[in-house]
Each structure stands twice: as C-alpha cells, then as structure tokens.
Amino acid sequence: MATPAVTTQENVGTIAERSMGWGTLTSLGDSAVTQHGHCWATTTDPTTSSDGLRELGAAPNLGQYKSWMTNLTPGTLYYVRAFATNSSGTAYGANVTITTTGTIGRRHWWVEGTAFHYFDQRGVERKIEGTTVTGAAPHALFPIFR
C-alpha cells in the first residue's frame, strides 16, 4: 500500500491575513487521491487535524496546485505543508515557513462618533473626521472593504 507523494513549495503573496500555498503532487500512490491541499499551524509539522486546513478535493492528475490560507493572524510565524490523501493514508510535504505581515491594510473600517476609522498599511489606526454617519452608511459607502 502506497500513499501519494507531495512536495511543498514556498508560499507567495503573504500578507497580514492570508497567503498562497503551493504544492506538487508527484505520485498518486496505489489508489486515487481523494483529498489534497495545505495545512498550517504555529508549530512544526501541521497535519490535516491542525486548525489551519484548506482542502481542494480529489486530485486525478499529477502536478502543481495552489490554495489560499486565510484567517491568519498578522505578525505570526506559521509552518505550512502540502498534503495528499488516498486509501492508504495521508502524505505530507516538507515544512515551509511564512511570517504574516503586521499590517492589515484598509480592510477594517469602523465608526466612532462622526468619524470613520481604519488601520493603515503599517497597522496604525487612522481616522477620517468631519463625516456624517447615519444608519448603515459605512457599509454602503465602502462595500469593497467588507
């Protein structure tokens, strides 16, 4: 009985809350790959039972794949491994590390009094004063930041 074989490549596009993981399925093993993707944790050797898991489903062919890792904590070191599963078990690629940036961009907006607040690219709170805020206006005015 042979498990699949998979390698983990360096992540790209790492920002405060997400990163793009890359893996390569190099062998299907002795049966069809029923699940593949990436797993991540703040400790070495994450598994599919770790908190961070992105499953991509069955993989009928060999080759490279990618998956987004989301809901990461800004300024944190993560260990990432590609994985693939068949009826014989789950195989993992080597650990690669990423460190999310300490910035969260202009995604998180909120209102205090009559001012809009947000975090800039360096994680510093900023505010826009002199605005009039009523009801659900912030979400209507800034739908791309939700």
Tell me, yes or no, whether 15 and 81 share the same domain. Answer: yes
pTM: 0.70
DSSP for 32-54, please give it.
-B-EEEEEEESSSS--TTSSEEE
| pLDDT computed for residue 112 by the predictor | 74
Residue 41 domain-assigned?
A: yes
Judge if 116 and 51 occupy the same domain.
Answer: no
| Judgement on whether residues 45 and 88 belong to the same structural domain of the protein | yes
What would the two tokens of residue 107 be?
């995604």
Pair (79, 13) in one structural domain: yes
Q: Does 104 reside within a domain? A: no
Can you tell me the distance from the alpha carbon of 36 to that of 27, in angstroms, rounded to the nearest whole number? 12
Condensed to tens digits (0 to 9), the pLDDT of residues 22-54 reads: 999 999 999 999 999 999 999 999 999 988 999
Number of domains into which the chain is organized: 2
Which of 99, 118, 133 marks a domain boundary? 99
48 part of a folded domain: yes
Per the DSSP assignment, residues forming a β-bridge with 114 are: none
Q: What is the span of the domain harbouring residue 135?
A: 109-145
Return d(Cα 145, Cα 107) in angstroms, integer: 5
> Are the C-beta atoms of residues 75 and 84 closer than 8 Å to each other?
no
Give per-residue pLDDT as tens, 59-93.
989 999 999 998 888 888 999 999 999 999 999 99
pLDDT, tens digit, 9 for 90 and up, residues 3-21: 999 999 998 878 778 889 9
| Residue 12 exposed, middle or buried by CB count within 10 Å (0-12, 13-18, 19+) | exposed
